[in-house]
C-alpha cells in the first residue's frame, strides 16, 4: 500500500523534529562553532542530504533550535490571572517558567551556548530577539489584571515586569549559567524571598 500524503507529512514532521533534537544535543555538547551538519546527521542517524533538505544551513538550523527553545518556555509563561489563587503561587509559576531555561542539564547546556553566541555578537542577539514576542508580555498582562482586581498597585506594568525578571534572573538564572546548575529545593527559600519582596513593593495597603 502506498503511503498517503498525510502519512508522508507525519513522517516528514517526525524527521524534522528528530533533526532538531539531534542539533540541540550537538550544539550543547560542542558549541556553535565546533558543531557541524555532518555530526548532526550522525547523531540523528540520517544522511547529511536529509538534514539539508530540512534546514538550508547550520545557521538556519541554529535559529530553529532557538525558536523551539523559546517557544517551549513561552508556553509555560501563558499564565492567566486567577483571583482565587494567591499572588505568591501565581508569581512562583512565572519564576518557574523562567527557570525552565536552566533546570535540566540539557537546557542549561543549551542556554550556555546561546548566551556565549549572543554575548560574542550583540547585533546577532538583537536580530534574533526581534523575531519573537517580548518574553515579558504574559507577565505584563497578568500584572494589569492584578491591578484591576485591586490586589497590586501597578502604575507601570512593563517596568514592574522588568523588575521581577531582573530579580529572578540576577539571583537565580545567571548564577546557574556559571555554576553547576541549580538545585530546586535549595533555591526555594531565595525564590520565595524574592517573590515576597516583589509583592510587598506593589501590594495595595488598605
Same domain, 96 and 23: no
Task: From 49, 67, 85, give the residue that closes a domain.
Answer: 67
Tell me the CATH number at 31: 1.10.10.60
Q: Do 180 and 200 fall into the same domain?
A: yes
Shared-domain flag, residues 128 and 174? yes
Q: Are 48 and 96 in the same domain? A: no
Cell triple for 55 = 534546514
Domain span including residue 25: 1-67
206 residues of the chain, pLDDT tens digit each: 455 655 555 567 888 999 999 999 999 999 999 999 999 999 999 999 999 999 999 999 999 998 888 888 888 899 999 999 999 999 999 999 998 888 888 888 888 998 899 999 899 888 888 888 788 999 999 999 999 999 999 999 999 999 999 999 999 988 888 887 677 778 899 999 999 999 999 998 76
| Count of residues making up the chain | 206
Indicate whether 129 belongs to any domain.
yes
156 inside domain: yes
Per-position DSSP letters for 153-192, written without gaps between them: --S-HHHHHHHHHHHHIIIIIHHHHTTT---HHHHHHHHH
Same domain, yes or no, for 158 and 84?
yes
Say yes or no: 62 and 91 in one domain.
Answer: no
Looking up residue 203, the CATH number of its domain turns out to be: 1.10.357.10
Same domain, residue pair 136 and 179? yes
d(CA 179, CA 158): 30
Residue 72 in domain = no
111 and 195 share a domain? Answer: yes
User: Is residue 43 a part of any domain in this protein?
Assistant: yes
The pTM for the full model equals 0.82
Domain boundary at 28, 46, 67, which? Answer: 67
Note whether residue 195 is domain-resident.
Answer: yes
Indicate whether 41 and 87 sit together in one domain. Answer: no
Asked if residue 97 is part of any domain, the answer here is yes
| Residues 82, 46 share a domain | no
Question: Among 31, 46, 67, which residue terminates a domain?
Answer: 67
Position 2 in a domain: yes
| 99: nearest Cα among 16, 205, 171 | 171
Nearest Cα residue to 111 out of 171, 27, 19: 27
- Total structural domains in the chain? 2
Q: Are residues 32 and 116 in the same domain?
A: no
Cβ atoms of 164 and 174 within 8 Å: the answer is no
Amino acid at each position: 500500500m502506498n503511503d498517503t500524503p498525510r502519512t508522508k507529512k507525519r513522517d516528514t514532521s517526525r524527521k524534522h523534529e528528530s533533526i532538531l533534537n539531534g542539533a540541540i544535543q550537538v550544539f550543547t555538547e560542542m558549541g556553535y562553532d565546533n558543531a557541524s551538519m555532518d555530526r548532526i546527521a550522525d547523531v540523528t542517524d540520517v544522511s547529511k542530504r536529509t538534514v539539508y533538505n530540512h534546514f538550508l544551513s547550520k545557521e538556519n538550523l541554529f535559529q530553529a533550535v532557538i525558536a523551539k527553545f523559546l517557544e517551549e518556555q513561552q508556553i509555560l509563561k501563558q499564565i492567566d490571572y486567577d483571583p482565587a489563587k494567591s499572588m505568591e503561587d501565581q508569581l512562583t509559576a512565572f519564576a518557574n517558567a523562567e527557570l525552565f531555561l536552566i533546570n535540566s542539564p540539557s537546557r542549561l547546556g543549551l542556554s550556555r551556548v546561546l548566551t556565549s553566541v549572543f554575548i560574542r555578537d550583540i547585533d546577532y542577539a538583537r536580530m534574533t530577539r526581534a523575531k519573537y514576542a517580548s518574553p515579558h508580555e504574559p507577565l505584563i498582562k497578568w500584572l494589569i489584571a492584578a491591578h484591576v482586581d485591586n490586589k497590586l498597585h501597578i502604575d507601570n506594568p512593563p517596568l514592574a515586569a522588568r523588575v521581577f525578571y531582573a530579580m529572578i534572573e540576577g539571583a537565580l538564572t545567571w548564577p546557574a549559567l556559571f555554576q553547576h546548575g541549580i538545585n530546586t529545593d535549595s533555591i526555594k527559600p531565595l525564590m520565595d524571598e524574592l517573590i515576597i519582596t516583589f509583592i510587598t513593593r506593589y501590594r495595595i495597603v488598605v
